[in-house]
Each structure stands twice: as C-alpha cells, then as structure tokens.
Amino acid sequence: MRPREFDHDDVLRIAFDQFWRKGVRGTSLSDIARDAGVQRGSLYNAFGSKEALFLSAYECYARDYLASIERALSSGSLRARLTAFFDVTIKNMCAGSPPRGCPTTRGLMELGSAEGEGLDEDARQAFAALMSRISALLQSALSEGAARGEFNGVPETAALHIATVTRGLAVLERAFGDGAKLRRIAAHTVDLILGEARG
C-alpha cells in the first residue's frame, strides 16, 4: 500500500481553517491543496469530495472543542463553571483576525443552500451531534449543581436554554463583532439560570 503523500492531520487543520473563515461554498479544494502543498487530486483520492473533507475536519474540531468545554465545566462552583463555558464559547467565536465566528452556525446556514454546493444531511447530523453533546455536558453540570444546592430548576431545560443562547451569540458576533456585548449577555444568562450573584 502506498503511503499518503501528505500529513493527514495537517491537511485537516489547514482545510478547516479555510472552511471556518470562508464557509464551505467559499472554499475550494484547489485553495486547500495550494495551502497544504499537495496535489488537488490527492485530496479527492483521500476524501472523495469537498464535503467529505469538511466533515472529517469538522469532526476534529468538534472533538477538540468538546474537550475544552469539558474542562471549563469540570471544576468550581456552578456559576464559575457556566461562566467558564461561556468564556470558552465566546473566545472560540472571536478567534482569528478577522474573527471567524462559529463554524457550526455558519455550516447550518449552508445546509442545502445551493444545488450541488450546500451541505447535506450528513453535515446536519454532525452539527446536531455536537449541539446534543454540548447540551448533555451542560445538563450534567447543572445536575451536579442542583445536588450541591446551587440550582433549583430543571437541568435539561436549562441546558437547552444555554445552548440556544450560544446560537444567538454566534449570530450577534457576526452582526456586531463586539465581544464585550457577548460577555454581558452571557453573564445575564447565568444570572437568569442561577439568580443574581450576591455581594
């Protein structure tokens, strides 16, 4: 069997950076091949299509992003955990120069958006899987907080509320590019879920 002529992980990193900045429709395999220093045909041979390459790259992104969320939600009071969760989320949206926004929200907007160019059901499932996993991590943190007497609501509902707010933050980041505004909304959301902090 012939060895691959490129570093798989490096190509996925380069590809995802382009998909994140320009969207799937705005990214070409030729551009990815050029930046990765490989032949365009090698990408087709390895992945089969631009969408398949996107999905492979998105899977790596989702794995790393979930790991950062798990770390954020792993220690401290429930308020500290939720604040850290929003910090990670907002930092992710505001990363890059110019900021790249949220790849999941950008991808959702491209679902079936143009014949032969939009993302399909496999992509929708990948986006849904990430959002479901984020909601599950939030629900677990809220349940633990409830057991410690820090929260008296319904963990599942509150987790979905928080996950939904993150989608709104992604849209506002694109509209205003104002990280401070996003952090104010995040802090207000934590107050709505837990009650305003005392002192």
Number of domains in the chain: 1
Residue 1: predicted pLDDT: 38
Structure-derived torsion over alpha carbons of residues 39, 45, 51, 57, reported in degrees to the nearest 10: -70
Domain that holds residue 86: 55-194
Higher pLDDT, 97 or 44: 44
In a domain, 110, yes or no: yes
In a domain, 125, yes or no: yes
CB proximity list for 8: less than 8 A, separation 6 or greater: 46
DSSP labels for 140-197? HHHHHHHHTTS--S-HHHHHHHHHHHHHHHHHHHHHH--HHHHHHHHHHHHHHHH-PP
pLDDT category of residue 2 using cuts at 50, 70 and 90: very low
Amino acid letter at 80?
Answer: A
In a domain, 44, yes or no: no
pLDDT category of residue 116 using cuts at 50, 70 and 90: low
CATH code for the domain in which residue 133 is found: 1.10.357.10
Which pTM does this prediction carry?
0.88
**Least trusted range by pLDDT, from 2-6, 98-102, 141-145:** 2-6
Token digits of residue 184: 């104010």
In a domain, 4, yes or no: no
**Least trusted range by pLDDT, from 22-36, 65-79, 140-154:** 22-36
Residue 183: predicted pLDDT: 97
- What is the distance, to the nearest Å, from the Cα of residue 98 to the centroid of all Cα atoms in its chain? 17
Token digits of residue 80: 């500290």
pLDDT category of residue 25 using cuts at 50, 70 and 90: confident
pLDDT at residue 4 is higher than 80:
no
Q: Across the chain, what does the average pLDDT equal?
A: 89
Token digits of residue 127: 């986006």
Mean pLDDT, residues 30-40 taken together: 90
In a domain, 5, yes or no: no
In a domain, 164, yes or no: yes
Residue 44: predicted pLDDT: 87
In a domain, 18, yes or no: no
pLDDT per residue as tens digits for the range 100-111: 888 888 888 887
In a domain, 82, yes or no: yes
Amino acid letter at 186?
Answer: A
Residue 105: predicted pLDDT: 85
Distance, CA of 77 to CA of 25 (rounded, Å): 42
Burial class (CB in 10 A: 0-12, 13-18, 19+), 107: buried
Residue 3: predicted pLDDT: 42
